[in-house]
Amino acid sequence: MINLLLTLFFTFLKIGFFSIGGGYAIIPLIQEQVVKNHGWLTLREFTDIITISQMTPGPLAINTSTFVGMRIAEIPGATVASVGAILTGFIFSIILYRFFQRHKDLESVANILLGLHSASLGLIASAGATILFITFVGDSKVSFNVTNYNLIAIAIFAFSLFALRKLKLNPILIIAISGIIGLFAYS
């Protein structure tokens, strides 16, 4: 159990270390670690955890690490995974705050921040595409075989997008309707 907890801690410490941009930008790294490298979760379980993490209050990376830790090693796992995920961010925040306070007038510092912003945007787009492919195809890779597509998920997505953009329905109402449709469609 101790080895598993240490592995969880150091895995999420590494994830926290590379989580510049946070939120959706961190999803591909978490997926690589918990699904591919360690095999703690299947791709479907990971997608479910991401979905639950988005619906619960708090930052996505923290919620995801807590849920993964809980799934793997219950409360001790949730604790060490969460601490591992936030520790490096906490330390980096203090160091970067002090650095930017000293050098806030330098143009090169502003350019570094623009580069980090662009990288985060690319990671967020990648995470969104990955979630869509997993939902629509059951895998993170594009498939041209139409029999592999989850037509119910595509229909719910299309309905939700239409209701949000064209009908201007409240997002909470759309989530509730989509959940009810999913409950009946997948039961």
Q: What DSSP letter does each residue of 126-153 carry, written as one string?
A: HHHHHHHHHHHHSSSS----GGGS-HHH
CA distance 103 to 105: 6
State the pLDDT at residue 24: 72
Number of domains, the chain: 1
- Residue 148 belongs to some domain of the structure: no
What integer pLDDT is reported at residue 133 of this predicted model? 81
Quote the pLDDT of residue 140.
Answer: 62
pLDDT value of position 134: 80
User: Using an 8 Å Cβ cutoff, are 66 and 78 in contact?
Assistant: yes
Please give the pLDDT value at position 20: 65
Residue type, 95: I
176 domain residue, yes or no? no
Asked if residue 26 lies in contact with residue 15, where contact means CB atoms within 8 angstroms, the answer is yes
Q: Is residue 46 part of a domain?
A: yes
Instruction: Specify if 93 maps to a domain.
Output: yes
Report long-range pairs for 35-38 (Cβ below 8 Å, ≥24 apart): 37/11, 38/7, 38/11
- This prediction has a pTM of 0.59
| Residue 119 within any structural domain of the chain | no
**8 A C-beta contact, residue 20 and residue 81:** no
For the chain, 187 residues long, give each residue's pLDDT as a single digit of tens.
899 999 999 999 998 888 766 667 788 888 899 999 999 999 889 888 888 888 888 788 888 899 999 999 999 999 999 999 999 888 988 998 888 778 878 888 878 878 878 888 887 888 788 888 888 887 666 667 767 788 899 999 999 999 999 999 999 999 999 989 989 988 8
In a domain, 7, yes or no: yes
Which pLDDT value is given to residue 143?
63
Q: How far is CA 158 from CA 11, 72, 135, 154, 155, in A?
A: 36, 34, 13, 6, 5
Residue 181: inside a domain: no
SS (H, E, C) 69-121: HHHHHHHHHHHHHHHHHHHHHHHHHHHHHHHHHHCCCCHHHHHHHHHHHHHHH
139-154: buried (b, 16+ CB within 10 Å) or exposed (e) per residue?
A: ebeeeeeeeeebeebe
Q: Per the domain annotation, does 157 fall within a domain?
A: no
What letter would DSSP give residue 56?
S
E strand or H helix at 164: helix 151-165
Residue span of the structural domain in which 88 resides? 2-105
